[in-house]
Amino acid sequence: MKILVSDDVSEKGVELLRRHGYEVDVKTNLDEQGLIDCIGEYDGMVTRSMTHVTAKVIAAGKKLKVIGRAGVGVDSIDIKAATARGIIVVNAPTANTIAATEHTCAMIMAITRHIPQAHNSLMAGEWDRERFTGIQLQNKTIGIIGVGRIGSRIAKRMQAMEMHTIGYDPYIPDERFEQLGVEPVDLDTLLKRSDYITMHTPLTKETRGMIGAEEIAKMKDGVRVINVSRGAVLDINALADAIKSGHVAGAAIDVFPTEPLTEDINPFKGLDNVVITPHLGASTVEAQIGVSVDVAEGVIAALNGEPVPTAVNMAPLPKNVYLTIQPYFDLMERMGIIGVYLSEGPMKEIRVEYSGELAKTETGLLTTAVLKGALNPILQESVNFVNAPDVARTRHISVKEIKTQDKGYFTDSVTVTIKTNKGEHSLVGTLFNHQEAKIVQIDEYRLDFTPEGYLLLAPHIDQPNMIGQISTILGQAHINITGMQLAKMTKEGTNIMAIAVQDDIPNDIMLKLRGIEGILDMKLIHVDTH
């Protein structure tokens, strides 16, 4: 597989991709047409903020399966177009957290004590101490818009400077505010009370342009404004006007609605009480290595067909939830594969029932893994964790999740039932020691086998030499049996065999097996998730 790296990223991430066997091409400074011309040969791409992955680029990426953003913001990628194509978009949301936090603190200090201006004055041969008299942070109020990974760390550091911290974040519960020592307020209150206002939000429909002329007018006189989040959150022209009028005392801006910020679109020219930097929030050696490695790991997982917790066009998962459900992903996908092989006719409903401890956690992505396993064997298009729910909907397959605290025979188990117009089949799976995947029941038949490789299911009449006849035919064909389970069926005098074999079974051998007297049915299932 081939991966395009379209921006400068740390070589550590590129090395990681190559160590995993991918062919990596580094081609930077490509415009839209340049990307369109070359993207068709790549399975994945890694970008930073300078590359704009538009709908046209995505449409040209016929083989494209994953887009990795080495950083947090993904507003340079058309997420909607990628999702429609089943392309996973991953980012690196945590690796640059400390870098962005520290840069914000540096920007706060810079506009508080006029550090850049004083430096330039001294370098010009001047000695003007009075001109650069600053203020103290102690006892001032800082309003934090977005009290997430970065905002919460800003709060901690500013509290150490003896500032009073207030915050606005509609997605953070009051308990978290209390834990952080941040007073929760609404946006209007924050604007009116804050001596400093710093923004730490992603760019969404709700946050785009959230701080404009109307909001700036509500701010107290002498406020200082800092933005190290996303450029389009703030109207920089309205801010510049407020600085010129004297309403805003100063500003420190690292991100801009249009980047790069060129001289002809810079509204801050000639303003001495403004510090601007060229999007340096994540520009530390450590952060650049971190985001490069993190996004490479996400790209590798996506290309391997695995769930990616940092995928932005999938439901986000807290790390603790992901670690709880992660061991079950492979089992769930294999149960979907076995279920669709057992079924006859088009699927009408897929029902997934979780019991025990699993029922207490977020299981949506596990259900998606079942869909992925059930749909991939019957469709030409590639089905992954991004597009599986939509594919099921377009095929009018009802998907139901059920949770129960009835533990049954196992602490944690999953029952997958696939219903068609000809009936339904169920199978139960679990993990032994939270590691070893097992199928422990098919319909009403209790079994115990590992779902991998090639699996032969053979319901038959309970009579002598059934195992011997099957083993003889497979042995003569040089097909190795790696495991066998036998279970009694509810119908008197019948059993079912689950036989694991090392290789595929040719059609002529399958005909011989089906021809054994007493065989009621014979299904060969290839339990392969890749």
**Within a 13 Å sphere around the CA of 15, how many CA atoms are in the beta-carbon half?**
5
Among 69, 103, 164, 230, the active-site one is 230
Give 231's DSSP letter. Answer: G
**279 is annotated as an active-site residue:** yes
**434 is annotated as an active-site residue:** no
Among 164, 200, 279, 351, the active-site one is 279
Output phi, psi for 191, to 5 deg.
-60, -40
- Among the listed residues 251, 253, 249, 201, the one whose alpha carbon sits nearest the alpha carbon of residue 229: 201
Output phi, psi for 417, to 5 deg.
-120, 125
Number of residues assigned to the chain = 530
Among 41, 178, 214, 259, the active-site one is 259
Q: Which residues pair with 487 in a beta bridge?
A: 496
Q: In whole angstroms, give the CA distance from residue 276 to residue 251.
A: 8
Which contacts of 313-317 are long-range, i.e. CB under 8 A and separated by 24 or more positions?
313/79, 313/82, 313/83, 313/88, 313/89, 313/386, 314/88, 314/365, 314/368, 314/385, 314/386, 315/364, 315/365, 317/362, 317/365
**Structure token digits, residue 345:** 């006719």
**19 is annotated as an active-site residue:** no
The Cα angle at residue 279 between residues 277 and 284, in degrees rounded to 5: 100
- Among the listed residues 183, 95, 112, the one whose alpha carbon sits nearest the alpha carbon of residue 147: 183
CA 53 vs CA 58, 68, 355: distances in Å: 7, 11, 42
**Residues involved in catalysis:** 230, 259, 279
